[in-house]
Each structure stands twice: as structure tokens, then as C-alpha cells.
Amino acid sequence: MRFFFLFLFLNTFILQAQELTGQQLLDKAIQHHDPNGNWSGFAGHFQVTMTTPDRPERVSDIMINNSQNVFELKYNLGDSEYIFKTHGSDCESFLNSKKFESSECRKASFWRDYYTYLYGLPMKLEDPGTMITDQVERKTFKGKEYLVLEVMYDENVGSDVWYFYFDPTTYKMEIYQFFKRDAQGDVDTNSGEYIILTENYETSGINMPKVRKWYYNKDDKFLGTDVITN
């Protein structure tokens, strides 16, 4: 009898992966993480504590306002306070209240893109320049089976290849992984990182991963942890 139910589960899981297209899987994942479609107008503040081996803890205060296209990041390193702000295409960067030169302002845009991408997933996979593979894969990672979405980007957006792992029942995003390309344009399997997502942080009706743990793909070396701590 146990064999029968296992057989039934596996066949259902396989059919589920085969029947879903990449876009359908993404739609289901977005429904889980942003059921009311709030990300496009999201306005909120949260605090992220980053811990890495052999380095002091870093606490970042992050403000994202998608409706007004505004972003702000503030953190301290030692006795220095860094502030990065963007408003549309305009940006400002400060060190201990002293404004950086305009060339340094690009860091503000980098941090905006970094945090809005990682905390806006999977909704950000609907952004222009994102190419979602139509076929949904079924993979086992760390002993658990997932429905996996392969994502690539237009050249002007990025060259990395990303894989997003979703729970086959709830469609919760539990892992994402990226690889670099080699000189021939092929995926370099010894490059990149994978990020394991645990716990849930609900804000403005959006379900974000509360804990992210980063590892190298090539040797599973632990890199650090980000935790939403407010």
C-alpha cells in the first residue's frame, strides 16, 4: 500500500512538472508571494542583518518605494556611515554626511538594483529583458524535489543563468542559483552561487524570504547569511 501511494505521488509530481509551462509556474509562484499584486506599488522599510565568516556583522536599513521609484540604503562600517539614495535616474551617495562625486553615485543604483531584485523575487522575473524557459524541470536539491525555472536575460541586462526552485505543492520559492558563462558562452558549472531561503517575512501583503544563506556552487562553501531583523 505504501508503494502504491509513493507511486501515485511521484506520477502526480512528474505530470505536474510536465503540464506546467515556465510562465504558468511563475504565475503560481507570484500568486504565493504576492497574492494581491502589491509589489508594483510597494512602499516599505525593513532592516537586514548580514553575517559573514571572519567579518563584523553589518546592519542595513533599506527603504523601497516602487510607486515613486525611490530607494534608500543606510549602513555603518566601523565608524563610517554610508547612505545611498536613488529617485528615478537620479542618485546620491554619502559618506559621513559628505556627498560622493557623481562617479561614485553609481553605487546607489547598484544597491537599488541588488536589493529590489532579490527581495522583489519572483515578481521581478516579469521585468523587461527577462527570458523564461518554457520547459519546467524537475530536480532534487539537498534531498528535496522541486519544480525549477530556468531564467536568462538580454545582453543589456545580464549574462548569468539563473535557476529558481519552487515547492511543488505551495509554489513557494525556496532556492535560487546562478552560474556565470565561460569565454565560449557556455554555463560554467564551477562558478556562481546558490542561496537557500527559509522562514517568511510578510510586509504589505507580500511574502518575502526572511533568511537567505549563500553558498558557492563549486564546493558548497558557506559565504554568509542575510536576515530581515526588524
How many whole angstroms separate alpha carbon 11 and alpha carbon 222? 35
Write down the pLDDT at residue 43: 96
Write down the pLDDT at residue 106: 82
Write down the pLDDT at residue 101: 66
Rounded to 5 degrees, what angle do the CA atoms 199, 82, 57 make? 45
Shortest CA distance to 115 belongs to which of 45, 169, 52? 45
pLDDT along the chain (230 residues), means of 10: 49 58 98 97 96 93 96 93 92 86 76 95 96 95 96 87 97 97 86 97 96 97 95
Domain 24-228 has CATH 2.50.20: yes
Segments making up each domain of the chain, as ranges: 24-228
Write down the pLDDT at residue 215: 98
Write down the pLDDT at residue 111: 93
Write down the pLDDT at residue 53: 94
Q: Is the pTM of this model over 0.85?
A: yes
Task: Give the CB-side neighbour count of residue 75, counting CA atoms within 13 A.
Answer: 15
How many whole angstroms separate alpha carbon 74 and alpha carbon 45? 11
Number of CB atoms found within 10 A of residue 53's CB: 8
Write down the pLDDT at residue 182: 86
Write down the pLDDT at residue 184: 83
How many whole angstroms separate alpha carbon 66 and alpha carbon 118? 14
Is 118 in contact with 212 (CB distance < 8 Å)?
yes
